[in-house]
Amino acid sequence: MSGAKHIAVLYSRGPHFTRALQALRKTHPGATLTAIVPAEYGNKEALDGVADAVVATSGGAMEVLRTIRNGRYDVFVVLFDSPKLRLLASLSGARECMCCETDGYLTPLVESPPGVVVSIGLARLRGHITYVRLWILVRILRVGQ
């Protein structure tokens, strides 16, 4: 097996997707780049010369995850850091998971699936606590008298 990495980049709407592929091509010239796009993605020609392969996905989240896992990628890249994308990255089976920022900078995503679930739960709990606190401030405390 050669030392070249197989990198997959998950599609996100906007010009950031092709810029991320171009940045990865420059920083990893020997890598095989795969663009993972929705089946209805209509601009595959724009990926010529940037991505070595284009994989179209269809169906729900489980079908997308199955497609990603079947690719057996060394590196899996998402373009935004959101709880859902962190969970998808952690379940991808890739050895490395990263988020490619709009400036092309790669940030490692290192949480395990249980860690992502816990962080999502904690964020929801913080949101509920904030809501209750604000509800109490608005409903119980008198303001402006």
Pairing of strands 6-10, 96-100: unpaired
pLDDT of residue 2: 52
Higher-confidence position of 98 and 119: 98
Pairing of strands 6-10, 106-108: unpaired
pLDDT at 1 over 50: no
Residue 144: exposure state from Cβ atoms within 10 A (0-12, 13-18, ≥19)? exposed
Residue 92: exposure state from Cβ atoms within 10 A (0-12, 13-18, ≥19)? buried
pLDDT at 14 over 80: no
pLDDT in tens, 61-93: 899 999 999 999 999 999 988 888 888 999 999
Full-model pTM: 0.76
Which residues make Cβ contacts (< 8 Å) with residue 145, sequence separation at least 6?
A: none
Contact 43, 67 (CB under 8 A): no
Mean pLDDT of the 92-99 span: 93
Contact 34, 58 (CB under 8 A): no
Average pLDDT, the chain: 86
What's the longest Cα–Cα distance across the chain?
Answer: 75
Distance, in Å, from the CA atom of 7 to the CA atom of 3, rounded to the nearest integer, reads 12
pLDDT of residue 143: 64
